[in-house]
Amino acid sequence: MQPPSVSPRPIVRGAAAILLRQKGPAHEALLLRRRTAPFAGEWFPVEGRLRADEPPLAAILREIREETGLVPLRLYRDVLEPQIVPSRGYDVHLSVFVGFVSANATVVLNHEHSHCEWLSLDAAITRVPLPAQRATLQRVQSAFVAVHPAESLRVV
């Protein structure tokens, strides 16, 4: 007897950036409060869907500019495979980047967000709603802040 066939869940491709600034000896991460469903009121890093045939690097540079008005001084690709985050009947393959901006960078929010806040990485870890986001922030803290990231990971 064969097991019943299971149709795979649809996949949405996206990109996310953990943006960091240095304040004294510490680093802070930027979180944005979503204005729209399904995560209205929740705090997220910069992220968004890839457009048709758009590579992840181009998508995240576009999303950073659209959502914050910022331009990273340095941008690194995370070393892990894209995340698969179950959400609302589809999976998200998320390419994660880590960007560093100047300490006095001014955030200009777009219509998708109501607030922004720079937080210590420990505080940001407790603020984001999804377990995968918490794991990403912990990885960023250990692999991009506690040590200088490998230059081979740098894309900007």
- CATH value at residue 117: 3.90.79.10
DSSP string, 92-122: EEEEEEEEE--TTPPP---TTEEEEEEEEHH
**pLDDT at residue 10, rounded to an integer:** 80
**Residue 69 domain-assigned?**
yes
C-beta of residue 23 within 8 angstroms of C-beta of residue 100: no
User: How much is the average pLDDT of 12-33?
Assistant: 95
Q: Cβ of 15: how many Cβ atoms within 10 Å?
A: 26
Mean pLDDT of the chain, nearest integer: 90
Domain range for residue 82?
11-149
Residue 69: which of 93, 102, 43 has the closest Cα? 102
Greater confidence (5 vs 147) lies with: 147
Give the pLDDT mean for 32-50.
94
How many domains, in total, are found in the chain? 1
> Residue 6's pLDDT is what?
56
Assigned domain for 1 exists: no
- Does residue 143 form part of some domain? yes
Model pTM score = 0.90
Residue 154 resides in a domain: no
pLDDT digits over 62-109, tens only? 999 999 999 999 999 985 555 566 556 777 888 999 999 999 999 999
Residue 47 lies in a domain: yes
